Structure 1
Amino acid sequence: MKPILVLQHEATQGPGVLLDHLEKNGLCYQLLMSPLEGRAPVLARDYSGIVVLGSDHSVNEDLPWIVCEQALLQDAVQRHVPVLGHCFGAQLLARSLGAKVQRSPYPNIGWGQVWSSPYAQRVMGLPRRAVLFNWHYDTFQIPSGASRTLYGPHCLNKGFGLGPHWAFQGHLEVTADSIRQWCDHGRHELAQVYGPAAQDADHILLGLDQHVSTLHLLARQTYQRWTDQLLERSGFARTQIHMPSLYAGQ
């Protein structure tokens, strides 16, 4: 089975619980920091799947590495290589599919409730209601042919699915430690945000362990469903995978 490409963009926004899932299941992966490289791979055929994590940047910025990542996702869609997008990654997948990404009416920062569609419950195994961790200012339109999977009270489009390509306008991968780091790194930002979907650091960290524990149940279920697709496409059964992880820098 070819490695899974994981595209990371910020030092504080790593793959977290996703990495735990890949290593626990013996799935090969390659972790790449596109902004440091100034580029991303161009050919999706070299990977069994592509994961795109969050970023402090907007997908509408004209940066070389963002242009490269968008071209990679467009190639992945054409070649039917499954894509999994988190926040920035979800927006980039939407944009790669021709959908518009624009400023949301309200910043979405902190814990927020979402509801899942019957499609998401059936295909992704998502519960009818869940609480996600958010940190985003932009929102995407649902691409043509895709199905909305998650929606929220202050941001309608919180997720979509198009065949094996899944997008989450939120963070499933975060850990308690990474959220603390985000709050510390963004303390000045948190002091200035406002709106019905923006929380300060005190509210974000209140009951953190319980929030993260519940979120991880959802994340593991979602990651298992998504990587099962990769195994099926590669002709492997889950119990047949015993390959060492491939880790390529941070």
Structure 2
Amino acid sequence: MHVYVVADDAGREAGFVGEQLENRGATLIYLERDELPVFETLEAPSLLLLLGSDLAAHAPQNAGVVESESELTSNALDAGVPVIAICYGAQLLARALGGTSFRAPEPELGWCTVDTTDPALCPPGPWPQLHKDVFVAPPTAKLLAESPTGHQAFIDESRAARAIAWQFHPEVTASRFILWVDEDADYYEAAGADTQALRDETREREAANREAAHQLTDAALDYLGLGS
């Protein structure tokens, strides 16, 4: 599989999801979010993976970047290339398919469970969460999970290929998650998070999260028709 991974330069790490994709024989090819090629120039794409970002998909100043990624995503799905989307990527995918995203009244921080209708494609967790924005799944989608903050996961079969999105971060390693906390610790503490407890819990949960992420990646590949 040729998996094209859309990421910011600062967040260029597919983590445990990318690890399991490589275990399954995938080659990961990273694309810079602010310099995306047109879909037709991608060589033998099997899957498009949209990672998280500090960007807000609803912010007017990001309209050009959002439009470019939405076009790439829509063209991939129309051409029969499935999509996996995580956090900001899930918000982007929701908007590209007719849903929306916006700033949440409160951020969702730490290890949180979700209310799921599909424990294979979206187990309840707990999953690592670190986001200020939320999405509303598109009208063509099937909602898989919610939390008190908003929608958490969906699948969509309205195009030539299937898509799946998760608001949480199954991919994130402990070192990456702790780096995110460190970079914005003042904000998270002002929002009521105990950042040291969050670091400690993240280290304790890393092995279990890695296994859960691998299982989730396998389930997603099966759903998307890439499981063989």
What secondary structure sits across from 1:105 in the alignment? strand
The residue number in structure 1 matching 2:166 is 168
- Residue 80 to residue 200, structure 1, CA distance change in 2 (3 Å): farther
Residue 10 (structure 1) shift: 4.4
Equivalent position amino acid for 1:39 in 2: L
Match of 2:183 in 1: 185
Is the 2:109–2:130 Cα contact (8 Å) retained in structure 1?
A: yes
- 2:75 and 2:37 map into 1 onto residues whose CA distance is 12
2:119 is matched with 121
Count of aligned pairs = 221
**2:83 aligned partner:** 83
The aligned runs of 1:230-249 (5 Å cut-off) are: 232=225, 238=228
Contact between 1:12 and 1:181, CA under 8 Å: does it hold in 2? no
SS for the counterpart of 1:143 is coil
In structure 1, which of residues 36, 39, 46 is the aligned counterpart of residue 36 of structure 2?
39
Tell me the CA shift for residue 203 of structure 1: 2.6
Task: Please give the per-residue CA displacement for 1:60-110, whole angstroms capped at 9, x wherever unaligned.
Answer: 234333221111111123223211110000000000001121121211121
1:26 maps to which residue? 25
Aligned to 1:211: 205
Q: How far apart in 1 are the matches of 2:204 and 2:12?
A: 20
Give the aligned partner of residue 8 of structure 2. 9
Tell me what 1:139 maps to.
Answer: 134
Aligned-partner Cα distance in 2 for 1:74–1:45: 17
CA spacing shift, 1:71–1:108, aligned 2, 3 Å = same
Q: Distance in 2 between matches of 1:41 and 1:217?
A: 35
Give, as a single letter, the amino acid of the residue that structure 2 aligns with 1:8: A
The TM-score with structure 1 as length reference comes to 0.80
* SS across alignment from 2:10: coil
Question: Runs of at least 4 residues of structure 1 off by over 4 A?
Answer: none
Change (3 A) 1:81 1:15: same
Deviation at 1:25, TM superposition (A): 1.9
Q: CA deviation at 1:229?
A: 5.1
Q: Give the structure-2-normalised TM-score.
A: 0.87
Any unmatched runs of 5+ in structure 1?
Answer: 239-250
**Secondary structure at the residue paired with 1:157?**
strand
Q: Deviations over 1:34-77 (max 9, x none)?
A: 23xx3343347841110000000111234333221111111123
Residues of 1 paired with 2:12 and 2:169: CA distance? Answer: 10
- SS of alignment partner, residue 125 of structure 2: strand
The partner residue of 1:150 within 145, 150, 170 is 145
Q: Shift in Å at residue 191 of structure 1?
A: 3.1
1:10–1:54 CA contact under 8 A, matched in 2 = no
Q: Tell which has more relative contact order, 1 or 2 (C-alpha 8 A, sep 6+).
A: 1
Whole-angstrom distance in 2 between the partners of 1:18 and 1:27: 11
Return the match for 1:53 from 51, 54, 61.
51
- Deviation, 1:161, is 0.8
The Cα shift of 1:186 comes to 1.6
Segments of 5+ residues of structure 2 without an aligned counterpart are none
Q: Percent identity?
A: 25
On the 8 A contact 2:39/2:76 being kept in 1, the answer is no
2:97/2:138 contact within 8 Å kept: yes
Of 89-98 and 199-208, the range deviating more from structure 2: 199-208
Moved more, 70-79 or 9-18: 9-18
